[in-house]
C-alpha cells in the first residue's frame, strides 16, 4: 500500500533529511465521482524521525496535506553512517517505517 523513501546527507555539520511518503491523504470531504458518496478520511497524523534512536523531528499533520507528501528538514548532531528512521501513523491506526544511513 504505502512506502517511504528516505535520503539523509551530512553537509556543513547539518544532516538534511528528505522523505517521500506514498499515502492517499484523503480529507473526508471529497466525493467519489462514480458513487457520489464521500470518500472516508484517511491521512497521516504524525511523522517521527529518529537518528540513533533519538527523536530529532516530530510533525503533526491533518487532512490538509497533499497526496504522497514530501518532507524535508535539517538537524545538527548526525554523523556519516548513523542510522536514521522515519515512521508515520495515520488516522486509521496504520503505520509505516523506513530506515537508512546518513551519507
* Cβ atoms < 10 Å from Cβ of 54: 11
Radius of gyration of the chain (CA): 16
**Pick from 26, 76, 27, 18: nearest CA to 47:** 18
Q: What is the pLDDT of residues 4-45, one digit of tens each?
A: 999 999 999 999 999 999 999 999 999 999 999 999 999 999
What's the pLDDT at 63?
Answer: 87
Q: Structural domain boundaries of the chain?
A: 4-101
Give residues with Cβ within 8 angstroms of 97, minimum separation 6.
4, 85, 86, 87
Q: Record the pTM.
A: 0.90
Q: What is the pLDDT of residues 53-87, one digit of tens each?
A: 999 999 999 989 999 999 999 999 999 999 999 99
Question: What superfamily in CATH does domain 4-101 come from?
Answer: Immunoglobulins (2.60.40.10)
Between CA 72 and CA 88 the distance in angstroms is 14
Amino acid at each position: 500500500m504505502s512506502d517511504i523513501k528516505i535520503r539523509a546527507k551530512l553537509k556543513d555539520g547539518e544532516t538534511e533529511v528528505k522523505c517521500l511518503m506514498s499515502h492517499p491523504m484523503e480529507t473526508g470531504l471529497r466525493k467519489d465521482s462514480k458513487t457520489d458518496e464521500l470518500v472516508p478520511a484517511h491521512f497521516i497524523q504524525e511523522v517521527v524521525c529518529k537518528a540513533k534512536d533519538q527523536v530529532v523531528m516530530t510533525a503533526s499533520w491533518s487532512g490538509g496535506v497533499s497526496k504522497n507528501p514530501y518532507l524535508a528538514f535539517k538537524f545538527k548532531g548526525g554523523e556519516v553512517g548513523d542510522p536514521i528512521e522515519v515512521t508515520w501513523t495515520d488516522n486509521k491506526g496504520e503505520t509505516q517505517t523506513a530506515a537508512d544511513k546518513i551519507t
